[in-house]
Structure 1
């Protein structure tokens, strides 16, 4: 029975995969639109130890294979793909373990040596003790490392040290470039991005920030509050669009410290799902065996699913699919929407909570908290600005230069094949020539996007500017205002303390002044004069008189100076008398006016 099922599965394979003549391809590739097979692939895409997958799809069919070897990928790249499988998606996790696969892709699509070398960068493995791995997640350990590194001396924080150039000596070491690590650079500069053009590919490199579920740890909250980087998991990605309708995604391994067969804990599994959330959604939307009716409308993508069946749309689906796949993998709308809706990056909520704390008890420590929030927002703003820059480069109009056209032997006359340009007319306007004659696309750098993808990239650009960047700028402006407000509140609070101290001082002074005449009187009565004697009743009579006069004098002085009950005098007594006189004269003038009328 098993042999029968295997034979049926082999017969169900399209002839394209059978002609590849690789046992691994015949065994791995299965119908992606089958619900049962899709469920198995859906579990594989969420496994941390999955290395790669290749997905070929068209309007009517889709086939997928996981964890393919380099020989299988080379055979697939060399074979001519049928028109029924117009689009191919090659996804690579753990690129540090698949140099041979990266080499095959670089040779097929003619990557530059620099781009290929950067893709082969090895992330530094970071191991922690077993006890600490049980006590906290790797994300918490990463936060500890970031906070600890910021407490080190300044010389250890140099950019050269972070990207592996500490021991560089230009006079003695001519191979210093071997110390540069792409992933260390991306970790040091979060808004680092790159755009590479080739005659058969367009490559985008960028950082993505994924917010993971908090662990409700007070230690983690303390580290986050003192960090200058936004909370979340940073992952570097390469996104490549090729001229043969192939889309390649290469992702940094966020758990490079894991050994073969080692599993993630519960916290890190949630983080992995958050990192691959957009990829998993795109992967699901590419299968007709997945029921997307219960999904959020924002998560449904038009890659293989259409509502209508118009002939015009069907004619453009094969050419629109690669660009749409390229766009959907770049646009992580869920993260951007979470920022706008204040679901994940709750900087507005944090600022509002801090504002309430300031009104209750302003402290100088709030300034430090606001400083770290401002640094995190600045990093987040530069991250989204790098996305805007990438979109501008993708939408940038590509025009061939005169030299590239001559080197490509494009500038030839119609039937004779002789060169159009001679030594006398090399200043020919290139745009005029392109407008009058068609230029093959292979002579231009980069890969053209379909109109369906271009309009969506333009929409994404304005959405980032209108929602994400404006929200971040509003939080930064609020932060600056709160810094000044905190200083003013601290000054006002100090003023209240000074006023309270003044009241106490005035009270002590009044008590002192009150008993000073009594002290003088008591000293007088204690003197022994010849022929003069004082009785006890006389002493208490004079005591009452002196106390009464002292209290009356203090009350009159307090009223005149405006320090009654310890309150500060904001107006002098003469000013009060002048204003009172003016008010009396004004009322008398009004009374006379009414009498004459």
Structure 2
């Protein structure tokens, strides 16, 4: 008989203890061509979790999809060697599904409880769903857990990993503590396009805002392209500059626009994800030497982070400050949707201008045109508020520094506010000016043109209505004149139709037609030659009636009539005195 102990399932092997050498093997040479290509594929994968880059002038190393324990070990122990690159960048995709890693980073750098909870719960509260995040079906196929070690490794099956179980427990606990007020606050922040946040502290400074990205290109054949919103899709990100030459970026989970009819859902969302991550991946790729050799990068998208650094043996700390400050700046500087906004606003205004100046459209599509005008104004106002919030955010960031780069009121060089280099501050100043000149001024000009088109539309509509009223008046006048012409004839015909004794015997057809001719002729002459006389008589009678009314008001004892007479009498006396002085 078998031993009962032998019937028990074997316990899973214990996870090997993480060592520094094991972690260092995860970091690969980013200047290697194969590694560079693998990282590009990883960045385009919506299931990617994170990456960590450490770089300097001579080398750059990158690791992808680290778990929480590896991130904890890395930030505590892995940078003890002097030969390690001085600058590091930790990027987290979808922080709501990496709560443990986010909590470790927040505790390490001293995030406030509110900032930490905002990052952790942002994605959970986005849809107001009080449940833990679970694997969902995206892009038409199930989302499985992937291996931590290999980016291209397949699914692990339905069995949850211990880290995922812990993740779900944390999510359930957080959601159980969430109040209706918390949910309403999150909804307000997430629904506001121009909402921004800045959190300065002793060890870091954190900026959060909505960033715009392009829409995928419409390629469906045989389907009409519907006119989309002028405001591009948005995604929320936090950028944190820490006091140890570390930059941390958190990006909310990807949310996609509605897929147009005829487009492939998988391809459309793949393209939108590429645009959503375009700025982050643009900065990442340019940390490798392969970017300049293999990529065609527009000069407006060049990021001068790694290869502008120079080794300084006398001041090695300045190297890390310069590199992390420039990285922080280029993550903030996102022009991916700016050109589309300007071009789209010009096209929309041009099409609206043609419609406004078209007589046919004014007569048949008044409701649709008014809706387009007000929609354009609302969207331009939203964009203006968004870019104004960017400008305000930069001003608040720069206000944390004095001319020497130290925090105002605190000369401590160890805090993060004293770690933003002068070159980075100058770049932020120039970016603020470009936001004003390229975006805010352009949007204000578009708003002015929209207002002019709106006024033109209503003026033309009033003119059209005035012409219609004039035509109606002329028609009514014509009918009145015709009635004047035929009214005497009608009276005459009625007179001849009355059966009066002794008179009927004397009426003959000749009498009727002679009377008809005379009365019709007199009516015609009176209509066309005495019409103006009637108008003058009518105006004269109206003026006489007005004078009679004034006379009665002055003579009768109505309230105010005596005071009115006294006022007129005083005016007459003043006139006589003036005449006497003239003499």
The answer to whether TM tops 0.5 is yes
Please state how far the C-alpha of 1:58 moved relative to its aligned partner: 1.9
58-67 vs 235-244, greater mean Cα deviation? 58-67
Q: In structure 2, how many angstroms separate the alpha carbons of the residues matched to 1:90 and 1:175?
A: 28
Task: State the SS of the aligned residue for 1:120.
Answer: helix
By how many angstroms is 1:391 displaced? 0.7
1:72-83 alignment runs, 5 A limit: 72-77=70-75, 78-80=77-79, 82=82
Could you tell me whether the CA contact under 8 Å between 1:212 and 1:271 is conserved in 2? yes
* Residue 268 of structure 1: how far off its partner (Å): 2.0
Structure 1: 5+ residue stretches without partners: 1-17, 135-172, 258-262, 406-429, 564-568, 570-597
Rate the CA distance shift 1:334–1:354 in 2: closer, same or farther, 3 A.
farther
Structure-1 residue corresponding to 2:47? 49
Alignment of 1:62-73 (within 5 A): 62-73=60-71
Aligned to 2:445: 474
| Counterpart contact for 2:89–2:246, Cα < 8 Å | yes
The change in CA–CA distance for 1:70 and 1:384 in structure 2 (over 3 A counts) is same
**Cα distance in 2 between the residues matched to 1:535 and 1:348:** 73
TM-score by length of 1: 0.65
SS at match of 2:211: strand
Q: CA deviation at 1:177?
A: 8.7
- Rounded to whole Å, the distance in 1 between the matches of 2:401 and 2:208 is 19
CA apart distance, 1:561: 7.5
Q: Distance in 1 between matches of 2:442 and 2:343?
A: 10
Matches within 5 A, 1:360-439: 360-361=362-363, 363=366, 366-398=369-401, 439=411
TM-score normalized with structure 2 length: 0.67
Q: Are the aligned partners of 1:109 and 1:201 in contact in 2 as well (CA < 8 Å)?
A: yes
CA distances 1:309-368 after superposition (whole Å, capped 9, x unpaired):
9999x99765432211111110112323333x3247866446535634687348366445
Aligned to 1:254: 254
Separation in 2, partners of 1:391, 1:201: 16
Name the SS of the counterpart of 2:296 in structure 1: coil
Cα 1:34–1:190 shift into 2, 3 Å: same
Q: Which residue of 1 aligns with 2:57?
A: 59
Q: 1:352 & 1:206 partners in 2: Cα distance?
A: 34
Q: 2:545 aligns to what?
A: none
Q: Distance in 2 between matches of 1:364 and 1:517?
A: 48
Indicate which of 468, 484, 489 corresponds to 1:518: 489
Equivalent residues of 1:53, 1:68 under 8 A apart: yes
SS in 2 for 1:470: helix
What displacement does 1:480 show?
Answer: 4.3
Give the secondary-structure state (helix, strand or coil) at the position aligned to 2:290: coil
1:195 equivalent to 2:165? Answer: no
1:98 deviates by 0.7
Query: 2:504 and 2:105 mapped to 1: Cα distance?
Result: 124
Change (3 A) 1:549 1:177: closer
Note the 1:478-517 alignment, pairs <5 A: 478-517=449-488
Aligned residue pairs, count: 456
Q: Structure 1 residues 131, 452: CA separation in 2 closer, same or farther (over 3 Å shift)?
A: closer
In structure 1, C-alpha distance between the alignment counterparts of 2:35 and 2:497, rounded to whole Å = 112
Q: What CA distance in whole angstroms lies between the structure 2 residues aligned with 1:276 and 1:485?
A: 42
CA distance in 2, matches of 1:40, 1:384: 35
Hey, what does 1:575 align to over in structure 2?
none
Query: For 2:58 and 2:236, how far apart are their aligned partners in 1?
Result: 33
Q: CA offset at residue 441 of structure 1? A: 0.6
How far 1:531 moved relative to its partner?
Answer: 5.3
* d(CA) in 2 for partners of 1:71, 1:109: 17
RMSD value over aligned CA atoms? 4.3
CA contact (8 A) 2:126 2:190 kept: no
Partner residue in 1 for 2:546: none
The corresponding residue for 2:526 is: 553
